[in-house]
Structure 1
Amino acid sequence: MKAIVLKEAGGPEKASYTEVEKPAAGGWEIVVKLKNAALNRRDVFVTHGMYPGMKLPSVLGADGAGIVDSVGDGVESLRAGDEVIINPGLQWGEDIRFNSPKFHILGMPTDGTYAEYVKISCENVYKKPAYLTWEEAASIPLSALTAYRALMTRGELKKGETVFIPGIGSGVALFALQIAVAKGANVYVSSSSDEKIRRAVEMGASGGVNYRTDGWVKDLKSKIGGADLIIDGVGGEPFKDLIQVANAGGRIVNFGATAGTVPELVLPRVFFKHIDIRGTTMGSPQEFADMLMFFEEHEIRPVIDKRFSLADAVSAMKYMESGDSFGKIVLDI
């Protein structure tokens, strides 16, 4: 079969479209013939060697959806021909509060979805929601699960609350917007692009601000007063602005640090406002199932930005690095 394999770190250019052996299902395993895969920023980080537990060579890719090709001994819930979506979070563990030390994500070190076929434990395979296209289904797993847990489990989102999502345009941020709007929250966003803010408003956001403009924090607070819940994947210097935006007793849930570490955080600004800062990453199998049910109930459809062929996955990752995307980048297989 054809697959995108990374043999050494050094950026997307080090990944190659090559022939590898088709996997065979062992006990409690399923082989899925993939229809589509989708990119995550994690995939690009892996190509640069910027991820814990690097083990190469590996087939890249966490997200995917397709048709069950074969099942191993012990698998009773699915059969060949079933249309499925993959949960890429492996070995979460028994405690929903946090993952086990064995937890890892499909696509390195375990071979992933940038391939014609993928092998995975049956507990990580779910029936594809019927209303979704193949490319939409493939776009959901990692980003939507991250957003769902950040909002619902860690963020404890309630109807009518005000939510702020900085850096709108990424997969997680857009899913967070869609989930929060469906939950009945008042959602505000930020971006360096007025066009991305406009599109977010079309998707249900109540408004937004351009963080490149002077006084954007003051402008945002004049619009919303303050945020009950902030979903952040940026970190870095901008994180300190979130302390100002948060209401007293507010929650800030962080799932990433694309802008790096937070310098010189003034803790009194946190504890005098009684702010909770909570970390999160991915989610448990139960949250994945709950997320799919929520999506089906509200018929949430992912935003697809651009599609590439599997053979052109390197170009797709370079496009992701450019930061120009609004929504998910999908591979046709």
Structure 2
Amino acid sequence: MKAWQVARDWSIEGMELTDLPEPVPGPGQVAVRIKAASLNYRDLLTIQGNGGVTRLPLIPFSDGAGEVIAIGHGVSRVAVGDRVCPMFFQSWIDGNVSAAARRYALGGTRPGVLQEVMVLDAEGVSRIPAHLSFQEAATLPCAGLTAWRALFEEAKVQPGHTVLVQGTGGVSIFALQFAKLAGASVIVTSSSDAKLERAKALGADHTINYRAVPEWGKAAAEWTGGVDHVVEVGGKDTFAQSLEAVRVGGTILVIGVLSGFSQQVAIPTLFSKNLHVIGLSVGSRRMFEGMAAAIGCNGMKPTIDRAFGFDAVPDALRLMRKGGHFGKIVVEYP
């Protein structure tokens, strides 16, 4: 089978397309023929050597979807022919997050999905909504689930709440779509008026071009009287504005570092506004299954910006690095 590996060094240019033996499932395992993958910013960081992984070679990427082609002895929760996604955290099935739950992450501490066939523990996969293509389903395990957990497991979004999402990348667009399903009002920020128009077409109630309005946090607060929940993906360059935007008693859901890793925090604002600041990364299989059920019941479709062939993975990563996408970038397998 074909597989991509970060082989020579930690860089896009250090990746190689190679031939590996096709794996066979053992007891309690399944073999999944991967049909599509999607990119996350975490994948780019990892490939560039900033993901906390030190060993080479590494099969990267965490998010994919495919078909079960073989099962090992004792497997009953899925069958040959089932359409499934591998879970990002292979050991987080249910319950609260813990170090043990986060130990086995695809494309990091475990080989990722950039391989035509992969063997996984049967407990580490879950069925996908019937109306989604493999390409659409491949966007769910990280970006979709992170947005789902942020809004419904942590923030407890309710009809009438206001949600601010930063930019138009994968997590932010999922958060926009999920918040609208919940009956919330959504503010979207971007530096592109064209992308803001696309966000309006997906249901955004208010948009702010942060290039034209550098104090976008204040503008969001004025429009809403204070935002209930901010989906914080920017990090260093956006957190101060998120503090400005959120209402007293509101929630900032910290899930990304697109602009950098560190920033001075106005601690008086945290306690004077009585804010809830929650850091989170992805979620459990139980959360994934709840999200998949909601997507299926509502007929929701993930937003895909562009699809690349399996041999063009480096080009997909360069588009991610450039940051010109709206929604998700996917890879289609042969």
Structure 1 and Structure 2 fold alike (TM over 0.5): yes
Question: 1:198 matched to which residue of 2?
Answer: 197
2:94 matches 1:81: no
Question: What is the CA deviation profile of residues 249-278 of structure 1, one whole-angstrom value per residue up to 9, with x for unaligned ones?
Answer: 101110122222343322111111111111
* TM-score with structure 1 setting the length: 0.95
In structure 1, runs of 5+ residues without a counterpart are none
Moved more, 98-107 or 11-20: 98-107
1:1-333 residue pairs with structure 2 within 5 A? 1-92=1-92, 95-100=95-100, 103-167=103-167, 169-214=168-213, 215-333=215-333
TM-aligned CA deviation for residue 150 of structure 1: 0.8
Question: Aligned with 2:329: secondary structure?
Answer: strand
The RMSD of aligned alpha carbons is: 1.6
Q: 1:322 to 1:237 in 2, by over 3 A?
A: closer
Question: Aligned with 1:243: secondary structure?
Answer: helix
Question: What is the CA deviation profile of residues 205-258 of structure 1, one whole-angstrom value per residue up to 9, with x for unaligned ones?
Answer: 101101112443333233222101111111113201111111111011101222
4+ residue stretches of structure 1 with deviation over 6 A? none
- The residue type paired with residue 289 of structure 1 is E
Question: What is the CA deviation profile of residues 22-63 of structure 1, one whole-angstrom value per residue up to 9, with x for unaligned ones?
Answer: 111112111101111111111111111101243321211211
CA distance in 1, matches of 2:229, 2:93: 27
TM-aligned CA deviation for residue 89 of structure 1: 1.5
Native 8 Å contact 2:51 2:108 kept in 1: no
Q: 1:194 to 1:296 in 2, by over 3 A?
A: same
Q: 1:311 to 1:285 in 2, by over 3 A?
A: same
Identity of aligned residues (%): 32
Question: What is the CA deviation profile of residues 108-137 of structure 1, one whole-angstrom value per residue up to 9, with x for unaligned ones?
Answer: 332221121111111122222111112111
- The residue type paired with residue 324 of structure 1 is G
Moved more, 150-159 or 178-187: 150-159
* TM-score with structure 2 setting the length: 0.95
CA distance in 1, matches of 2:87, 2:3: 19
Question: What is the CA deviation profile of residues 132-173 of structure 1, one whole-angstrom value per residue up to 9, with x for unaligned ones?
Answer: 112111122111111111111111211210111112x11111
CA distance in 2, matches of 1:19, 1:208: 47
CA distance in 2, matches of 1:95, 1:79: 25
- The residue type paired with residue 188 of structure 2 is V
Native 8 Å contact 1:146 1:172 kept in 2: yes
CA distance in 2, matches of 1:137, 1:46: 22
CA distance in 1, matches of 2:49, 2:27: 32
Moved more, 41-50 or 8-17: 8-17
Q: 1:127 to 1:102 in 2, by over 3 A?
A: closer
Q: 1:101 to 1:88 in 2, by over 3 A?
A: closer
Matched positions, count = 332
TM-aligned CA deviation for residue 101 of structure 1: 6.1
Question: Aligned with 2:67: secondary structure?
Answer: strand
Question: Aligned with 1:92: secondary structure?
Answer: coil
